[in-house]
Structure 1
Amino acid sequence: MTTLIKNAQIWQQDRLQTNDILIEDGRIKAIGHQLHEQFGPAEHVICADGHFVSPGLVDVHVHLRDPGQTAKETLATGTLAAAHGGFTTIGAMPNVDPVPDTPAKVAKMVARNQQEGHVHVAQYASITEQRTSETLVDFEGIKQAGAFAVSNDGSGVQTAGTMLQAMQGAAKVGLPLAAHVEDDSLYHHGVMNAGPVADRLGLPGINNVSEAAQVARDVMLAEASGVHYHVCHVSTAESLRVIRDAKRAGINVTCEVSPHHLLLSDEDITMDNPMLKMNPPLRSPKDRAAMVAGLLDGTIDMVATDHAPHTDAEKAGSMKTASFGITGIETAFAVMYTTFVKSHLLTLGRLIELMSTRPAQLFGLTDAGQLAVGAPADLAIIDLDHEYEIQAAQMLSKGHNSPFIGRHVYGDVLMTLVDGQKAYGKDQQA
């Protein structure tokens, strides 16, 4: 099966250039002009109409809620939402029921991901049994079963000794360890960032040190163990300072930032609004500015959504009782492109590095994040010029808990191909 994408704008040599892309048997066979003269007519033609064709986006931090929480999301709806957002490879977090904490459970989830996912799904295993215990998983076994990394996302590993042993075990078998950094003894059951906004609204706060203290502990343990230590959803200036210093010291630490921590702060919370409740919370304007600075200076390695769908009932009422988390995989490229590329803070090429190339490279996803001859035909066709409004009715995720609904953006995904096959087209929207 051959497919020709005609009149595509692709990022080459630091600028957009017009090319055609020939796909054969799920991989990119050629990139150039007048390809039909060299290879003959293709069986299927897609006209990109001068729109941007990107390597498929890569998100290493997604909650699919399946198995066990399928009222929120399913493997099918979550991966279709990913394709709608231009993502062709995602990392599925392990806070599901049952937790993938044994080789058998991991192998079962890996098989389902391959059979039922609309995009490629790389599977996390947990760091410890049941994700919150102090008993470590079988690192060799879960890697052989197909896990690409380990994480207890949703919970910080509370004991330093457990974390060191986990890092040693992950390092021995070459698995990245992605940490949700939160010290429970400093958390105090807050629901938003501690500070004047929380005080004014009468809501309990989460202070910065509950995150930064674990980052500081963990980078020392990472240095001792040699593990690839990855900080999930960094949100505080103090955490970023520790990460920057650790990188300068040669410690193998990487980090991600979520779009909402780049675009929003706690000052955007003007009332008790559960749609703005997430963990880590929206921090102060100073913290948000530090995240932007870290993105621009390269301290932050990648953008990841922390896509966390919930039912409408779970996000209703007060921040005191509503669930933590927002969706993001369908809006991430658009809000990032509109905010950072349209304003010339980032080039389009750099944004693609942050949302595709670098996460794939750093997590060993060797077939992802490429638009090159021989690579899998995992691609997104994106209209960069048309302004549109983010609407809940257009979302394909089960969760509509997004603070970006109603925002006007650029960067509309028109089609997503996975292994050369259409995983999403605009005709599939609700």
Structure 2
Amino acid sequence: MIRLKILVSLILWHGALYAQKINTVLLKNATIIDGDAAVKPRIGSLLIENGIIKSVSFGQLKKVSPGAKVIDCTGKFISPGLMDSHVHLATADLSNVEKARLSTDSILVNLLKHGITTVRDMAGNAPYLAYYKSAIENDKVLGPDIYYAAQFAGPGYFKMMGNGRKGEKDLGNSAWYRAISQKSDVKQAITDAKKAGVTGIKIYADLSKELIREITEEAHRQGLLAWAHAAIFPSKPMDVAIAGVNSMSHANDLVFQQIKGDTISIGAAWAQVYKGLRLDSAVRDQLLLEMKKHNTFLDPTVFHAENNKMVNAVLITSRAHQLGIKIVTGTDWIYPTKDEPVPLLDEMKLLTSKCGMTNLEVIQAATLNGAEVTGLKDRGAIRVGKRADLLILDSNPEQNLEALFKPHTVFQKGKMVFQRK
């Protein structure tokens, strides 16, 4: 009861939130930001039926669908809902689940009201995430759709972690935190992870290049994605890229490829970085081109890097963009529980100010690319047949990205879930 009262108070304080079940909605005369940077924004209208974009028309609207709720968006802009492709919603203290959910409920509402309608959770407690994934999909909790990973790492990593996460016991022996060695049954481990509801396997640390490849190939065989850190230690970034993973996180870590030797020591490698390891552009480009060959997305987390004085992240991300590697917007940062600015805005601003991307390209990274890296074909762009996860904006995000994070209205599955007063 206490949790319910707090959540209701939070919702009323933030603005009008809805779960209106209107089958047909017409959004007319808005400037449509497609989600694909190659598509020029232009004025048009959207017809939504049963949560799906039924039609997209440009120019003067000649006919209005009978029975549709019509919303005049003259002077406004419509974009796809945003996606943070690197969050952690279930790595905090879970020893008191009811207390943890109070915080998570507030974070999820804040994400949604800032226009974030989908997240890729890069490893955490799977039962906790499964609860929220189901509750959100069934309209029992307000929040972005959640797609999550199981974390695979070597036994040494989990031994180092011990029982460092409160509410988690016996790390390394669950379907979502799995210790993998040469003796492990990788096929069974991935089957177990799939049963826990994951969308991808996060390949994390303390794994050989042979195991990275085996995990990647088996994940793909079982219909899951392979998401990896850029450096797995002792394996180098090139080992990860050659394995054909779907995404590599943390652009700064690609610099470890230039350290001599077939393998790298985590302590010695970071020591070189903090001593000012200079980026070798030839090594960088060779690695980035290998990523491009495999259509591997880069999840650069430049905001995270800038806050930790990792200067190579923006240099590598900028070059990746020049080479045509698809970039997604992940933060790997803490989200506030109150109505405060969110780190995804900081990530997107850095991609424009320091990495050479236009606002439309960054919007694509936060919409269409985010959907693709998660294997989602039903969202990320304003097209017929896509899910109606949409933001109605008061000003032009092509001119100012902050407009995305102050949406007038947020639609999720065609339902108005937030409207700013």
* TM-score, normalised relative to structure 1: 0.65
Mapping of residues 367-406 of structure 1, within 5 Å? 367-384=378-395
Distance in 1, matches of 2:381 and 2:49, equals 16
Q: Mark the CA change 1:182 to 1:378 in structure 2 (over 3 Å): closer, same or farther.
A: same
Deviation of 1:53 (Å): 0.8
For these two proteins, the number of residue pairs brought into alignment is 335
Asked if the contact 1:119–1:423 (Cα under 8 Å) also holds between the matched residues in 2, the reply is no
Asked if the contact 2:53–2:384 (Cα under 8 Å) also holds between the matched residues in 1, the reply is yes
Deviation of 1:145 (Å): 5.1
Distance in 1, matches of 2:25 and 2:238, equals 50
Distance in 2, matches of 1:133 and 1:329, equals 37
Give the counterpart of 1:303 among 316, 319, 329.
Answer: 329
- In structure 1, what is the equivalent of residue 419 of structure 2? 425
| 1:4 counterpart = 2:15 | no
- Listed one character per residue, the Cα deviations across residues 67-107 of structure 1 (whole Å, up to 9, x for unaligned) are 85465984433332322332222112323xxx33xxx8886
Deviation of 1:120 (Å): 1.6
Deviation of 1:310 (Å): 8.0
Distance in 2, matches of 1:51 and 1:334, equals 23
Deviation of 1:303 (Å): 2.0
Deviation of 1:353 (Å): 2.0
| 1:244 counterpart = 2:288 | yes
- In structure 1, what is the equivalent of residue 202 of structure 2? 151
Asked if the contact 2:335–2:342 (Cα under 8 Å) also holds between the matched residues in 1, the reply is no
Structure 1 gaps of 5+ residues are 186-212, 266-275, 313-326, 390-407
Asked if the contact 1:58–1:90 (Cα under 8 Å) also holds between the matched residues in 2, the reply is yes
Distance in 1, matches of 2:101 and 2:129, equals 21
- Listed one character per residue, the Cα deviations across residues 396-430 of structure 1 (whole Å, up to 9, x for unaligned) are xxxxxxxxxxxx95543332210111233334xxx
Distance in 1, matches of 2:71 and 2:44, equals 13
| 1:80 counterpart = 2:109 | yes
Distance in 2, matches of 1:49 and 1:232, equals 40
Asked if the contact 2:103–2:337 (Cα under 8 Å) also holds between the matched residues in 1, the reply is no
Mapping of residues 215-254 of structure 1, within 5 Å? 215-220=237-242, 222=243, 227-236=244-253, 238=255, 240-241=284-285, 243-247=287-291, 250-254=293-297
Distance in 1, matches of 2:116 and 2:200, equals 19
Q: Mark the CA change 1:108 to 1:344 in structure 2 (over 3 Å): closer, same or farther.
A: closer
Distance in 2, matches of 1:178 and 1:156, equals 12
Give the counterpart of 2:52 among 21, 27, 31.
Answer: 27
Indicate the larger mover: 362-371 or 302-311. 302-311
Deviation of 1:345 (Å): 4.7
Q: Mark the CA change 1:36 to 1:302 in structure 2 (over 3 Å): closer, same or farther.
A: same
Distance in 2, matches of 1:49 and 1:109, equals 36
Mapping of residues 152-301 of structure 1, within 5 Å? 155-182=204-231, 214-220=236-242, 222=243, 227-236=244-253, 238=255, 240-241=284-285, 243-247=287-291, 250-260=293-303, 265=306, 276=307, 281-284=308-311, 287-301=313-327
Asked if the contact 2:389–2:411 (Cα under 8 Å) also holds between the matched residues in 1, the reply is yes
Matched to 1:120, the amino acid is D
Distance in 1, matches of 2:337 and 2:376, equals 31
- Listed one character per residue, the Cα deviations across residues 226-279 of structure 1 (whole Å, up to 9, x for unaligned) are x4342112225626545313136x335332122516xx74xxxxxxxxxx4xxx
* Partner secondary structure for residue 45 of structure 2: strand
Asked if the contact 1:22–1:28 (Cα under 8 Å) also holds between the matched residues in 2, the reply is yes
Q: Mark the CA change 1:66 to 1:77 in structure 2 (over 3 Å): closer, same or farther.
A: farther
- In structure 1, what is the equivalent of residue 137 of structure 2? 114
Deviation of 1:357 (Å): 0.8
Distance in 2, matches of 1:329 and 1:368, equals 24
Distance in 1, matches of 2:331 and 2:300, equals 8
Asked if the contact 1:255–1:300 (Cα under 8 Å) also holds between the matched residues in 2, the reply is yes
Q: Mark the CA change 1:244 to 1:174 in structure 2 (over 3 Å): closer, same or farther.
A: same
Give the counterpart of 2:179 among 133, 138, 143.
Answer: 133
Distance in 1, matches of 2:309 and 2:43, equals 40
Q: Mark the CA change 1:299 to 1:18 in structure 2 (over 3 Å): closer, same or farther.
A: same
Matched to 2:237, the amino acid is V
Asked if the contact 1:65–1:73 (Cα under 8 Å) also holds between the matched residues in 2, the reply is no
Asked if the contact 1:9–1:51 (Cα under 8 Å) also holds between the matched residues in 2, the reply is yes
Distance in 1, matches of 2:90 and 2:341, equals 14
Distance in 1, matches of 2:390 and 2:42, equals 16
* TM-score, normalised relative to structure 2: 0.66
Structure 2 gaps of 5+ residues are 1-22, 154-171, 258-283
Q: Mark the CA change 1:144 to 1:62 in structure 2 (over 3 Å): closer, same or farther.
A: same
Distance in 2, matches of 1:52 and 1:338, equals 23
- In structure 2, what is the equivalent of residue 413 of structure 1? 407
Distance in 2, matches of 1:287 and 1:20, equals 39
How big is the alpha-carbon RMSD for the aligned residues of Structure 1 and Structure 2?
4.0
Distance in 1, matches of 2:359 and 2:101, equals 33
- In structure 1, what is the equivalent of residue 265 of structure 2? none
Distance in 1, matches of 2:340 and 2:248, equals 19
Mapping of residues 276-355 of structure 1, within 5 Å? 276=307, 281-284=308-311, 287-309=313-335, 330-333=342-345, 336=348, 340=352, 345-355=356-366
Q: Mark the CA change 1:328 to 1:58 in structure 2 (over 3 Å): closer, same or farther.
A: farther
- Listed one character per residue, the Cα deviations across residues 101-149 of structure 1 (whole Å, up to 9, x for unaligned) are xxx8886564345343522211222336453623556323433553211
Matched to 1:149, the amino acid is G
